[in-house]
Amino acid sequence: LSRRQRQMCIRDRYKKGGVEIDEYISRCMSNLSLDLETRKIDFLYRNDVEKGTCLYIDEEKIKRVFYNVIGNAYKYIDKDLGMIFLHIEDAGKMVWVRITDNGSGIEKDELPLIFERFYRTDSSRNSKTGGTGLGLAIAKKIIEDHGGQIYAESEKGKGTKISFSLPKKVDEKKKI
Ligand code: ATP
Ligand code: MG
């Protein structure tokens, strides 16, 4: 396929539209929060983006990103008192979504590899947590197809922070 044809395919695959951030997050979290509550994982949410700001995204696809990233935070928490913090930050045309957990953390040398297809760290391969190692590769693909970026920071034993950026919907009134 030519570059142009490839871009057409990507455009067809995503049904992008505008959605208000807070409303969207609470919709994404409505199923997840039950799981977290049952496992006694504290969930904290903080939105530092101006009220009423809208995202321009494929809601279903980005929901999958939330599920994959928060699903990992949930799966790799090894403390009695689990904690997941979801933080939304303003970055001009984009917003940053940051998801921090107090789980097992990831070794420094393995950190660059976790977004690769089928990659699972030594410790997760040796643990009872199942998985195919595709969750973050899928998340990365979806984020990049939205023009965003995704990366991880982590400290072994302490926890992990996954950050990804999402495009804002351009306000037509402000465009003049
Ligand atoms: P799948 O998501 O396909 O069920 P998976 O969770 O193993 O499988 P990814 O979500 O792609 O795969 O994550 C890749 C690897 O990165 C995981 O196997 C795990 O070793 C590590 N990892 C990802 N997120 C975290 C986290 N929050 N804490 C600790 N390790 C993590
Ligand atoms: Mg996963």
Both ends of the chain: CA-CA distance in Å? 37
- Between 43 and 174, name the one with better pLDDT: 43
- Choose one of 136, 138, 150 to mutate for the ligand 1 pocket test, by most ligand atoms within 8 angstroms of C-beta: 136
Show the ligand 1 pocket: residues with CB < 6 angstroms.
Answer: 68, 72-73, 76, 101, 103-104, 106, 114, 119-121, 124, 131-137, 160
Three-class SS of residue 86? strand
Mean pLDDT of 117-136: 84
At 133, give phi and psi (nearest 5°).
80, 20
Among 74, 99, 100, 120, which residue has the most ligand 1 atoms within 8 Å of its CB, making it the best to mutate? 120
At 18 the pLDDT is 97
SS3 76: coil
> Which pTM value belongs to this model?
0.92
In this prediction, residue 9 carries a pLDDT of: 75
For position 174, what pLDDT does the model report?
A: 62
Complete DSSP assignment for 91-148: ETTEEEEEEEE-SS---GGGGGGTTSTT---HHHHSSS----S-HHHHHHHHHHHTT-
Q: What is the mean pLDDT of residues 121-141?
A: 86
Position 173 scores a pLDDT of: 67
Q: Read off the pLDDT of residues 16-69 as tens digits, 9 standing for 90 and up.
A: 999 999 999 999 999 898 899 988 999 999 999 999 999 999 999 999 999 999
